[in-house]
C-alpha cells in the first residue's frame, strides 16, 4: 500500500507540472465546453439538490455551474472542510452568498466553520455530486488530491441513501484535457471510487 501511495504522489506531481502549463485562456475555453455538457446532461437536468466543488487553478471552472444552479432554482451545496479527515456539504443561499465567501488556506472560497448552515445530509440529501480531481482515465478512474475527502463522502452518501430509502446521488467529474492520462497510469486502492460520469472537452466517460 505504501508503494501505491508513492506512485500516486509521483503522478500528482507530474500532473501538477502539466497543468501549470495550461493557460487561463485554454482553461476558460475548456471550462465553457464542459460546463455546457454538464448543464445539458440528464444527471444535471433531473437533479434538484446539487453539491459542487468551488474550483481552483488546474480544474474546470465551476463558477457558471454555481450561477446556473441558482438560476434554475436547484439547491446548491458546497464543501466545507472540518479538520484533515472530514468534509461536509453545506448550503449556499444565493449567488450573492457565494460571492461573499471568504477564502481558505488554499485560496478557495469556503463557508467558515463557525457559520450555521444547512447540511445536505440533514434533510433531503443530494441528487448529484459534481466531483473534482487531479487526474482521470478513460476507464473512469480518478486520482484526487490525496486526502480522500470525496471517496469518503461518496461512501457516506450511499450509506445515507440506503438508510433513508433513497437512490444514492449521481456523481459527475469535470476534467480538462491535460487531466486525462493513459489507462494503467492511476494507481488504485480499495477505497478509491469511480464517478458515474467524467466529462471532458472531447468525450463523456462512463464508469464500467
Which segments are annotated as binding site for substrate?
Answer: 54, 59
List the binding residues: 8-12, 54, 59, 142-150
Cβ atoms of 53 and 131 closer than 8 Å = yes
Quote the CA–CA distance of 120 and 112 in Å, as a whole number.
16
Binding residues for ATP: 8-12, 142-150
Report the b/e string of 37-58 with b at 16+ CB within 10 A: bbeebebbeebebbbbbbbeeb
Output the nine-digit C-alpha cell for 45.
Answer: 437536468
Cβ atoms 159, 193 nearer than 8 A: no
Helix (H) or strand (E) holding 137: strand 135-137
Amino acid at each position: 500500500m505504501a508503494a501505491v501511495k508513492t506512485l500516486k504522489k509521483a503522478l500528482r506531481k507530474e500532473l501538477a507540472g502539466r497543468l501549470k502549463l495550461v493557460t487561463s485562456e485554454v482553461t476558460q475555453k475548456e471550462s465553457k465546453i464542459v460546463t455546457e455538457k454538464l448543464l445539458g446532461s440528464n444527471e444535471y437536468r433531473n437533479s434538484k439538490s446539487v453539491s459542487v466543488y468551488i474550483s481552483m487553478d488546474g480544474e474546470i471552472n465551476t463558477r457558471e455551474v454555481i450561477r446556473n444552479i441558482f438560476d434554475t432554482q436547484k439547491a446548491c451545496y458546497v464543501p466545507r472542510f472540518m479538520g484533515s479527515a472530514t468534509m461536509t456539504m453545506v448550503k449556499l443561499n444565493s449567488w450573492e452568498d457565494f460571492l461573499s465567501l471568504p477564502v481558505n488556506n488554499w485560496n478557495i472560497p469556503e463557508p467558515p466553520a463557525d457559520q450555521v448552515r444547512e447540511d445536505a445530509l440533514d434533510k433531503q440529501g443530494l441528487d448529484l455530486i459534481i466531483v473534482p480531481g487531479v487526474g482521470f482515465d478513460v476507464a473512469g478512474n480518478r486520482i484526487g488530491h490525496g486526502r480522500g475527502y470525496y471517496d469518503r463522502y461518496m461512501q457516506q452518501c450511499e450509506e445515507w441513501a440506503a438508510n433513508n430509502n433513497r437512490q444514492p446521488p449521481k456523481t459527475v467529474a469535470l476534467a480538462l484535457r491535460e487531466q486525462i492520462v493513459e489507462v494503467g497510469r492511476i494507481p488504485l486502492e480499495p477505497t478509491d471510487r469511480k464517478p458515474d460520469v467524467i466529462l471532458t472537452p472531447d468525450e463523456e466517460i462512463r464508469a464500467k
